[in-house]
């Protein structure tokens, strides 16, 4: 996506014409294998239509209407052929953002972890996390992206920073192709459901939905701490009664869900101030506290000192 550090000509690419995507049943015969190969060729043909023959650095970014869908709520999608060394960040997103690398190479950094990525890989940006990504100087990547909000069971499928998923090229190609269609939000939502179905299937039957409700809730809280959230909504997203969910959560973590949410937010705020040099106000906002006075009171209760003093002490220790 376009870097806030540089000014660059932004070109809206024309919608692809006469691109047909075929939904293929599970493989079982030699003929189905040939069909899948044709689908892959069609997806690549779509990508060629929107990128080939255009200068590096051109992009198409489609902002979507926020329909506040309960399970998966699309927010943005797009494609870009990056210029050598093009970068974005460090930055924090307020929703999930998946990038599928079509060609080339680049790096993706989340916190202290860095990944070198290439064609066929997806890097996952979760809301509230500080990330940075940069195109390779010699072989800059080209990618498609989709941004969305999602409920806890879906967020639980996005724990890994990097994903490799057969068929993802077709899913992202269809998402990008929906950008100029009527009712595009609904069409993109359908494609995201299909993508999540593939993610869930890839985990195998032993890791399916039936089990770790608390683990799913914890992953959701860690991924969405910067957003408003209520315990009853998390329980409902898991299909559980609120009282039963709270009892189950405390049994496995020793904390109530609300206590865990507060602890997670304050820990993130402390990290933002000490590791990323954010002010008290900015750290509070990024951690999900629009009211800095409420944040300061809760921070003092947990850490025994105001946020500013905590950050100053941490900087002194780091400086030796």
Phi, psi values for residue 180, rounded to 5°: -110, 10
Tens of pLDDT, residue by residue over 110-147, are 988 899 999 999 999 999 888 999 999 999 999 999 99
Per-residue model confidence (pLDDT) at position 116: 94
Per-residue model confidence (pLDDT) at position 210: 36
- Whether residue 306 is predicted with pLDDT greater than 60 in this model: the reply is yes
- Whether residue 202 is predicted with pLDDT greater than 80 in this model: the reply is no
Assess contact for 289 and 227: CB atoms under 8 A.
no
DSSP code per residue over 248-289: HHHHHHSS-HHHHHHHHHHHHHHHHHHHH---HHHHHHHTT-
Over range 184-210, report the average pLDDT: 75
Work out the percent of the chain whose per-residue pLDDT is above 90. Answer: 31
Three-state DSSP at 132 gives strand
Per-residue model confidence (pLDDT) at position 219: 84
Q: How far apart are CA 291 and CA 5, in angstroms?
A: 29
Q: How far apart are CA 220 and CA 264, in angstroms?
A: 11
Q: What structural domains and CATH numbers belong to the chain? A: 30-206 (2.60.120.280), 212-320 (1.10.10.60)
Per-residue model confidence (pLDDT) at position 176: 87
Per-residue model confidence (pLDDT) at position 136: 96
Q: Which residue has the higher pLDDT, 96 or 29?
A: 96
Lowest mean pLDDT among 105-114, 197-206, 302-311: 197-206
- Whether residue 156 is predicted with pLDDT greater than 90 in this model: the reply is no
Residue 90: in which H helix or E strand, if any?
strand 87-92
Per-residue model confidence (pLDDT) at position 59: 56
Assess contact for 278 and 272: CB atoms under 8 A.
yes
Three-state DSSP at 140 gives strand
Q: Which residue has the higher pLDDT, 191 or 56?
A: 191
Q: How far apart are CA 260 and CA 221, in angstroms?
A: 8
Over range 170-183, report the average pLDDT: 83
DSSP code per residue over 2-66: --TTS-----PPPPPSS----PPPPP-SHHHHHHHHHHHHHHHHHHHHHHTTS-TT-EEEEE---
Among 41-50, 133-142, 176-185, 230-239, top mean pLDDT goes to: 133-142
Task: Label the pairing between strands 59-63 and 87-92.
Answer: unpaired
- Whether residue 227 is predicted with pLDDT greater than 70 in this model: the reply is yes
Q: How far apart are CA 166 and CA 222, in angstroms?
A: 27
Mean pLDDT score of the chain = 78
Over range 143-165, report the average pLDDT: 89
Tens of pLDDT, residue by residue over 231-265, are 998 988 887 888 888 988 888 888 899 999 999 99
Classify each residue of 218-227 as buried b or exposed e, where b means 16 or more C-beta atoms within 10 Å of its C-beta: bbbbbbbbbe
């Amino acid at each position: 996506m376009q870097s806030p550090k540089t000014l660059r000509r932004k070109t809206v690419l024309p919608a692809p014409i006469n691109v047909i995507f075929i939904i293929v049943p599970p493989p079982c015969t030699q003929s189905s294998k040939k069909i899948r190969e044709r689908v892959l060729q069609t997806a690549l043909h779509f990508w060629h239509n929107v990128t080939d023959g255009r200068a590096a650095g051109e992009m198409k970014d489609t902002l979507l209407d926020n329909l506040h869908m309960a399970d998966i709520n699309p927010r943005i999608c797009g494609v870009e052929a990056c210029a050598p060394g093009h970068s974005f960040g460090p930055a924090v997103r307020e929703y999930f953002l998946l990038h599928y690398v079509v060609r080339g190479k680049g790096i993706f950094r989340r916190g202290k972890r860095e990944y070198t990525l290439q064609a066929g890989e997806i890097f996952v940006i979760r809301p509230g996390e500080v990330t940075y990504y940069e195109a390779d100087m010699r072989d800059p990547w080209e990618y498609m992206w989709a941004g969305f909000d999602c409920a806890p069971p879906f967020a639980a499928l996005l724990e890994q920073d990097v994903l490799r998923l057969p068929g993802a090229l077709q899913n992202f190609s269809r998402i990008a192709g929906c950008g100029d269609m009527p009712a595009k939000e609904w069409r993109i939502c359908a494609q995201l459901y299909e993508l999540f179905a593939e993610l869930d299937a890839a985990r195998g039957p032993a890791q399916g939905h039936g089990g770790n409700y608390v683990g799913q809730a914890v992953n959701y809280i860690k991924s969405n701490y910067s957003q408003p959230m209520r315990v009853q909504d998390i329980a409902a997203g898991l299909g559980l009664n609120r009282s039963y969910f709270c009892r189950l959560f405390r049994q496995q973590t020793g904390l109530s869900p609300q206590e865990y949410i507060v602890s997670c937010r304050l820990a993130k705020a402390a990290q933002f101030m000490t590791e990323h040099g954010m002010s008290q106000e900015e750290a509070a906002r990024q951690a999900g506290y629009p009211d800095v006075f409420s944040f300061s009171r809760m921070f003092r209760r947990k850490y025994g000192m105001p946020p500013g003093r905590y950050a100053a002490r941490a900087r002194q220790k780091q400086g030796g």
